[in-house]
Amino acid sequence: MTTETIPQIVYDKLIAARVVGAFTGAGISAESNIPTFRGDEGLWAKFKPEELANFNAFMKNPKLVWEWYSARKKIIHGAQPNPGHLALAELEEIIDEVIVVTQNIDNLHRRAGSTKVYELHGNIERNYCIKCGENYADEVILADELPPKCGKCSGLVRPDVVWFGEYLPQDEFAASEEAAQRSEVFLSLGTSGIVYPAASIPQVAKYSGAFVIEINPETTPLTEIADVTILGKTGKVLPEIVNTLRSIKRKGKNID
C-alpha cells in the first residue's frame, strides 16, 4: 500500500513490536542539509560515483577525491541531527529494542542519541593510512594540505568509507543481517535502495517475516517488498509516528 498519510496498521504493528529495525539512507539526512547522492541536486549530479567514490580514482587523483571528501566533511561537521534522526532515537524509549542499519557516513544517528547503530559504508569522521593503517582524526587531516600523508610512514591517508567495488565491514554486515532477521517491524527510511549488498538488508527482514514500512517522498525498488510506503519526508513523518505512539502508550497505561 502506498499512501501520503499514516495508516492505523503502522501504529498497531509498532505498538505490538519488541524489536524494530531501521535501514537508512542519505534521505534521512537531507533535512540536515546534507546533499543526497541521486536526484538532480544530488552529489552524483555533477559526476559519476565511479569517478570519485572508488579506490582506483583515489590512486589516480588523490587530491581530487580528497577535495570532494573534505568539502563533504565540512558540510557534515556543520550539520545537526534533524527531527527524523531525533524521532528514531526517541523510539528507543517506546520500543524494547531499536536497531539502526545505516548506509550514511555522517554519524548523525549516534549524535541524535541512537544507541545501536551499524554503519555499513563506514564513517567520514574516521581516516586511515593505506600503507600502515594508522588512524587519523579529521582535525589533523583538514589542517594539512591535500592529499594528507601519514606522519608515521608518509603513506596516503584515506577516509574510512566503503567505496564502490570494496567489501563492506563483515562484522557490521553480519550483525545487520541478524538484526533484520529478528525485526518484527522493519523501517526503510530515505533510501533509493539501489546500492548492494546494503539494499539486501530490508529484503532479509521481509523474508524473515517483518512488517516493512518505507518512508520516502518517492517510490523505490524497495516499495515492492514494503507492506506500507508512506510518501513523505522522514523529518515530518517519523516525529508524527513517535508522538502518536507515545500518546497511545500513555493511554494504554491509564486504562489498566
Judged by CB under 6 A, the chain residues 128 through 167 that form the site for ligand BV8 are: 161-167
- Which entry of ligand BV8, Zn ion, none binds 129, CB below 5 to 8 A by partner kind? Zn ion
Quote the CA–CA distance of 102 and 105 in Å, as a whole number.
8
Q: Do residues 54 and 163 touch, judged by C-beta distance below 8 A?
A: yes
Quote the CA–CA distance of 250 and 192 in Å, as a whole number.
35
Catalytic residue among 77, 85, 109, 121: 121
Q: Which one, of 37, 30, 41, lies nearest residue 161 by Cα?
A: 37
Is residue 29 within the footprint of ligand BV8 (CB under 6 A)? no
Looking at the Cβ atoms of 9 and 132, the one nearer to Zn ion is: 132
Q: What's the residue count for the chain? A: 256
Residue with the three cell numbers 539486501: 200
Is residue 132 within the footprint of Zn ion (CB under 5 A)? yes
212 CB neighbour count, 10 Å cutoff: 23
Looking at the Cβ atoms of 26 and 88, the one nearer to ligand BV8 is: 26
Choose, by CB under 5 A, the member of 67, 134, 138, 144 that binds Zn ion. 134
Is residue 239 within the footprint of ligand BV8 (CB under 6 A)? no
Is residue 249 within the footprint of ligand BV8 (CB under 6 A)? no
Choose, by CB under 6 A, the member of 78, 133, 151, 197 that binds ligand BV8. 197
Whether 121 is catalytic is yes
| DSSP result, 169-223 | PHHHHHHHHHHHHH-SEEEEES----STTTTHHHHHHHHTTPEEEEEESS--GGG
- Which entry of Zn ion, ligand BV8, none binds 167, CB below 5 to 8 A by partner kind? ligand BV8
The phi and psi torsions of 50 (rounded to 5 degrees) equal -60, -30
Q: State the minimum distance, in angstroms, from the CB of residue 162 to Zn ion.
A: 20
Query: Between 167 and 196, how does the x/- string for binding to ligand BV8 read (CB under 6 A)?
Result: x----------------------xxx-xxx
Q: Which one, of 83, 86, 84, lies nearest residue 112 by Cα?
A: 86
Q: Residue 197: is the preceding peptide bond cis (ω within 30°)?
A: yes
Active site residue ranges = 121
Residues that bind ligand BV8 (CB under 6 A): 25-28, 30-31, 36-39, 42, 53, 103-105, 121, 161-167, 190-192, 194-197, 216-218, 220, 233-235
